[in-house]
Structure 1
Amino acid sequence: MPFDPGPARIGAPLDAHSLPWHRRGRSRARTRGPEFSRTGRPARARSPERRAVSAADCRHDEIRVHRRFVPRQRPGRARDGSVIRPGSKDANEVVSPDRVGLVRSLGRWGLTALTINCVVGAGILGLPGKVYALAGASTGLVVAGAAILALAAALCLAELGSRMDGSGGPVEYCTAAFGPVAGFAAGWLLWAATVLAAASLLNLFATMVAPDAHTMIVVGTGLGLTVLTCAGMGRSAIASGALTVLKLGLLAGVAIAGLTTSAAPATLPSTAAQPVTALILMFFAFVGFERPTAVAGEVVDARRAVPFALLAGMAVVTALYAGVIAACWRGVPNLALSERPVGDLLGRLFGSEVARGAELAAAVIVLGTLVSQWITAPRLMLALSESRQLSAIFGRIASGRGTPDVAIVTTGIVAVFLALGGDFVTGIAASSASRLLIFMGCAAALLRLRRQPGIPEARFHLPLGAAVATCVILVCGALLAVASAELARLGVLIIVGGLLWLISNGKRWFQRV
């Protein structure tokens, strides 16, 4: 007959020292619900303070309890005006999954490599000719202006990243500043932009590698990237770092070769200069630095590493772009008419055999960008699930590996199906416009969080931050107004996101109203 310890004091603190010595165990915790007594009978409702149990594993007969229980609350603002923020250690705030299951295994240099990998894409191989055809003699000013604007947006994200270290990046920043609806909008726009770009790059990669086996290459590449990402952040970071080194080596070699050989300067284009269009095109070549902030929940000392990675990565990208464009200007006489200026430069310097290597370089660059998209996009779904804007199933963390497997598999399936459905140039245009909205939202969040109580102090404080954030909002708004062709496509993304939000949160919202 099993030993009966007798009636327990319902509501008494449950820890290892309150049990007899022969009943103290060290078994792993298993969910059986927070409201029960030590005898297994339902317990009276207790305050959140009494609901927290000791950090030691405790067991009574067959009942196993959590190490820690904190009532789940919606991120945003509480009734008393305090801020409920994902990833907080405070017992009155939500407990983030990245505190429980995610593994902080990515260092600052790995995050820097991921930042470079996110920004540098295959577009740089054709960008010099397009920018020179639009800007002409003012190409240098256009490149400098685009770099300054991108750096200003990156500086805003750097300060925000030095305040918060949870997953999601813009999702976390906008949620803390403006509430969960704004966080959902930022997360949805960035996730949709990333997945649409990934679908287009999958098509491009399959065309480069084997056009006759297009479907097989798309499915195989998507499956391989999904498996790699599910293997853990450590392995994903190694793959991203290796491809980043290849990118930098290839493009730096092109820049050095073009700048150190005899010059054949390009002739000025015959068409009228369009510097504003060239500035927009060049600015979109710098975007992508916002995506690495989504993995901050898996970064060691994220509040210091995120600002370092953003600033160091943007410095490397700016120098690389300037070197490649200058090399093409020196070595391609008909640069304004060239569709493949990097290939033409290599052909002039080393012959047609080496020029064909530009296609291999483009495939490597595209693959590196795909790896970065597969790493960052699922973390946005994780952050949305964490803030209860998506189903909790997308926030499940695999034990041992510490990866959001459901979010990774869902992102991979959507990207592959979109890639098989056709070319998404229209979607990429809409995604480019959505990034402008994200930059505006993050800059506005910086202005608000600087005055909002309860927010952690910034490890990186942006000088003249209010002025820089205001300039980012105004310039991005002006660029969004100029890009009128993308506004209709952006509207489609917003409508789809609104429907998704109603499906996920409509019932709770109507009940609250």
Structure 2
Amino acid sequence: MTSATLVRALGRRDIVGILLNAMIGSGMMAAPAKVYAIAGGWSFLVLLASGLAMVPLILCFADLGSRFTGTGGPYLYARAALPAPAAFTVGWLLWFSQAMSAATLCNLMISYLAGFAPALAQGWPRAAVILTLGLALTIIALLGIRQSARTSNLLIAIKVGFVGFFLAAGLAFIRPDHLQATTALPIAPQFATAMLIYLFAYSGFERGAVIAGEAREPRRDVPVALAVSLVVATLAYGAVLLVCVGVLDAPAATDRPLAEAGRQIFGSPGAILVSTGALAVILGTLLIIVVSMPRMLLALAEQDQLPAGLSAIHPRWRTPHVAIAISSALCFGLAVGSDLITALTIATSTRVVSYILCCVALARLAGRPDAPQPAFRLPFAGPVAAVTALLFTGVLAIGARKELIPLTAVAAAGLLILAAHGAYRARSASTAGP
């Protein structure tokens, strides 16, 4: 198989770094303002509910991740337990959702850069920044998984230091009256919509499993990395939310709540310092998308659900160069042509559907004696997976009704591509003949 030519170079620390870079990104940066606009002082309850909802999902993925060693993560899980079209839908939606996540990150980065140079907010300067950034990150991804992991580890160290500094600097300026809930608890649809914003922040954890084909001990390291990353990410989200809500008079009035908090604490130099840290946070997450997204195309091609050319591995760099080029073109092309909120909501809803299908896959695998055996066995895996799938189905149905049409369109487009590829294979086979 093509994946045999990939290099198994990633250790547990690398996987943790990749997961944290995926989870501590634009969601953490944008969530305080977006969630506060919906839930006000109940934003902390929204974060708590979102974190608790993630626990069974992370446990389901830890069980699944300890069963497989190949590239593709959630797609492989679905492929082992669900019909081929459903498995393809998981891989396709996760691939597309990463492109929309990249668009979200790029738009958020532009909003922070515009604080330094307002001309970058629109027109050809905006497009030039996005495309230059895309080219630089694509080159890093092309040069090898080791180079990508080293860059990822450096950026996550900067991220954690930035969050620690932001919390330490802001604690003395927090006003307790800002933390009180002065409005009624949001109704269910509003609460679910606010939860989706934080679920977007948490999303990306599956990327650690997508690159498992390049990990030295994926069945052992992926479950541990998932648990560590959930705890660290939750602490980071809580710290940022605490400072933004506690310091700012109107947290929902800006797309750059961290920069505004820095300005209020330290004046203009503080805004510049915090904006610089925010750019490093966003850059790390973008790098992980550029690295992990092509691996999903690789997995789909390896399972013959997309053209075999997408699974090509560069003989020197040992990376899926064709898949990287195509994925980066989609990522940064969408970033040039989309806005922050549209990209964020579509990215979240597409990913949640994939999570639901993976939970269904675990419920089926848990009851099969011939299924791959887990290194980490989730107690009562079948019932836990079924309940988790129902929980996220409810959140999606209540909080993302507006996104169901574009979500259906994205899934339908993928299934049409799958059907076209199947027809081409059948036609080639009949032409070859006996």
Q: TM-score, normalised by structure 2?
A: 0.89
Q: How far did 1:286 drift? A: 1.4
Q: Structure 2 counterpart of 1:223, which letter? A: L
Q: Does the 8 Å contact 2:363/2:383 carry over to 1?
A: no
Structure 1 residues 343, 201: closer, same or farther in 2, change over 3 A? Answer: closer
Q: Give the structure with higher Rg (CA).
A: 1
- Aligned match of 2:386: 470
Matches for 1:439-478 after TM superposition, within 5 Å: 439-478=355-394
Give the Cα separation in 2 of the matches to 1:474 and 1:133.
Answer: 27
Give the Cα separation in 1 of the matches to 2:142 and 2:35.
Answer: 39
- Aligned match of 1:413: 329
Structure 1 residues 495, 214: closer, same or farther in 2, change over 3 A? Answer: same
Q: Does the 8 Å contact 1:159/1:462 carry over to 2?
A: yes
Structure 1 residues 200, 323: closer, same or farther in 2, change over 3 A? Answer: closer
- Aligned match of 1:213: 125
Q: Does the 8 Å contact 1:265/1:333 carry over to 2?
A: no
- Aligned match of 2:278: 362
- 1:245 has 2:157 as partner: yes
Deviations 1:163-187 (A, max 9, x none): 0010001110000111432221111
- Aligned match of 1:151: 55
- Aligned match of 2:144: 232
Give the Cα separation in 2 of the matches to 1:222 and 1:316.
Answer: 28
Give the Cα separation in 1 of the matches to 2:264 and 2:333.
Answer: 40
Structure 1 residues 141, 404: closer, same or farther in 2, change over 3 A? Answer: same
Q: Does the 8 Å contact 1:264/1:330 carry over to 2?
A: yes
- Aligned match of 2:432: none
Give the Cα separation in 2 of the matches to 1:215 and 1:339.
Answer: 19
Matches for 1:479-494 after TM superposition, within 5 Å: 479-482=395-398, 483-494=400-411
Does the residue aligned with 1:356 lie in a helix, a strand or coil?
Answer: helix
**Larger % of helix: which?**
2
Give the Cα separation in 2 of the matches to 1:193 and 1:241.
Answer: 24
Give the Cα separation in 2 of the matches to 1:265 and 1:226.
Answer: 46
Q: How far did 1:419 drift? A: 3.0
Structure 1 residues 413, 131: closer, same or farther in 2, change over 3 A? Answer: closer
- Aligned match of 1:112: 16
Give the Cα separation in 2 of the matches to 1:320 and 1:427.
Answer: 23
Q: TM-score, normalised by structure 1?
A: 0.76
- Aligned match of 1:310: 226
- 1:295 has 2:211 as partner: yes
Structure 1 residues 417, 344: closer, same or farther in 2, change over 3 A? Answer: closer
Q: Does the 8 Å contact 1:265/1:332 carry over to 2?
A: no
What CA RMSD, in Å, does the superposition of the two structures yield over aligned residues?
A: 2.4
Give the Cα separation in 2 of the matches to 1:104 and 1:318.
Answer: 29
Give the Cα separation in 2 of the matches to 1:206 and 1:410.
Answer: 23
- Aligned match of 2:415: 498
Does the residue aligned with 2:72 lie in a helix, a strand or coil?
Answer: coil
Matches for 1:367-446 after TM superposition, within 5 Å: 367-423=283-339, 425-446=341-362
Deviations 1:137-189 (A, max 9, x none): 43333211100112221111111010001000111000011143222111110
Identity of aligned residues (%): 33
Give the Cα separation in 2 of the matches to 1:453 and 1:378.
Answer: 32
Q: Does the 8 Å contact 2:71/2:211 carry over to 1?
A: yes
Deviations 1:467-498 (A, max 9, x none): 32122111111112112101011011012112
Deviations 1:285-314 (A, max 9, x none): 211111221100000111001101111111
The one of 159, 163, 170 equivalent to 1:258 is 170
Structure 1 residues 203, 337: closer, same or farther in 2, change over 3 A? Answer: closer
Q: Structure 1 counterpart of 2:2, which letter? A: P
Deviations 1:34-80 (A, max 9, x none): xxxxxxxxxxxxxxxxxxxxxxxxxxxxxxxxxxxxxxxxxxxxxxx
Structure 1 residues 420, 414: closer, same or farther in 2, change over 3 A? Answer: same
Give the Cα separation in 1 of the matches to 2:376 and 2:255.
Answer: 42
Give the Cα separation in 1 of the matches to 2:243 and 2:158.
Answer: 19
Give the Cα separation in 1 of the matches to 2:346 and 2:423.
Answer: 26
Q: How far did 1:109 drift? A: 0.7
Does the residue aligned with 1:166 lie in a helix, a strand or coil?
Answer: coil
Q: Structure 2 counterpart of 1:191, which letter? A: W
Does the residue aligned with 1:401 lie in a helix, a strand or coil?
Answer: coil
Structure 1 residues 195, 279: closer, same or farther in 2, change over 3 A? Answer: closer
The one of 247, 250, 261 equivalent to 1:345 is 261
Between the two structures, name the one with larger relative contact order (CA 8 Å, sep ≥ 6).
2
- Aligned match of 2:185: 273
